[in-house]
Amino acid sequence: MPDFSFILIPLLLCGLLMMLTPLPAIICFCMALDQKTSPGRSTFTRLFQTVPTCIGPVCLLALYAVESEPDWRDQGTSAWPYMTRGDAAWIYFPPYVMANFLVARVVISPDFAEHTWLPRLSFITCILISLLFVAGYNAEPFTRVYPASTAIAYAVGTMVYCRGRPRPGASRWQISLLTAWLTSGVSTVYVSVLQARRMVAELPDTAPPGCFIVTAAARGHRRYVGSRIDPSTGHITNRQLIVFRAFEAWLQRNATQLHAILRRLYNRFGPVVARQIRRRWQADLVYTMLKPLEWLLRGLGFAFSLFPDRR
């Protein structure tokens, strides 16, 4: 079997540098956009330069949006702290992708739309969205490093691109372009506010009880684990959690001693395991691992007729 470590290791290091520092993106922007050094570079080189400058930031923004979905109203009821989290964060994904596509087009061909505001507006869009994610709240301050580094890289790229290039005039087409850009920016923020308000309205006021494995697994990505807020308790639940709770109730009624033994063991080791499930992808993994046991309980007939809600 061929050894691909000589390829994977540099790629992993490049990805780590790209997330922690803006250095790779800045170097690529300078190499691709500087009018004194960029001529003569091959198409393959220019395509490779789009990885840290455009492709990487888009992938990391998607990862940020996936991992930042709140479980409860941990920042109050105001929409602002939630505008860059969960479903509200995805609102910025289409304009961010489009702006990065245009930036990549400029990296590949620096003369693209040179006499228009389009390249400059694309850079500005990427900078503003990155800064918005820096200002947005996230439980782990480390996640702010990524948007801050990309904002710095885009700012340097903007300066390198504008150096020596004449500023476009104020023609009718240019004014229309600026108007459309401002309108789309305001509309994007407005839709994000509406989505954040809707998301906050559906969140419980307090953190769900979180000492047990199945409950921790229910905090995975909502569309995957099928979680929702139970209106009777105000806490998070899903079908898997209902099955296990119903099975425990059956066990408590029909095998009291066995239930007491299992419950003592679960109370001792369950919280230890559940505390390690800190990220949504980890909860998704545990949810998947528990699926065979859930299917077994259903197949044996434990709890299926006890479901208060089959959604």
Residue-level pLDDT at 94: 93
Listed range (52-56, 142-146, 176-180, 255-259) with the worst mean pLDDT: 142-146
Q: Which two tokens stand for residue 191?
A: 């839709």
Residue-level pLDDT at 24: 85
pLDDT bin (cut points 50, 70, 90) of residue 68 is confident
Report the C-alpha gap between 224 and 233 in whole angstroms: 22
Mean pLDDT of the chain: 80
Residue-level pLDDT at 48: 85
**Cα dist from 258 to 181, 249, 253, 263, whole Å:** 66, 12, 10, 8
Question: Which of these, 183, 32, 223, 54, lies nearest to 130 by C-alpha position?
Answer: 54
Checking if the pLDDT of 304 tops 80, the result is no
Residue 17 vs residue 270, higher pLDDT: 270
Residue-level pLDDT at 309: 46
Proportion of the chain above pLDDT 90, given as a percent: 18
Residue 60 vs residue 93, higher pLDDT: 93
Which amino acid is present at 87?
D
Checking if the pLDDT of 265 tops 60, the result is yes
Residue 39 vs residue 308, higher pLDDT: 39
C-alpha torsion sign, points 250, 254, 260, 261: negative
Q: What is the pTM of this model?
A: 0.70
- CA torsion 253-237-139-100 (nearest 10°) is 150
Residue 221's φ and ψ, nearest 5 degrees, are -65, 125
Q: Which two tokens stand for residue 128?
A: 């503003």
Q: Which two tokens stand for residue 289?
A: 């691992």
Which of 154-158, 195-199, 225-229, 243-247 holds the top average pLDDT? 154-158
Averaged over 135-146, what is the pLDDT? Answer: 69
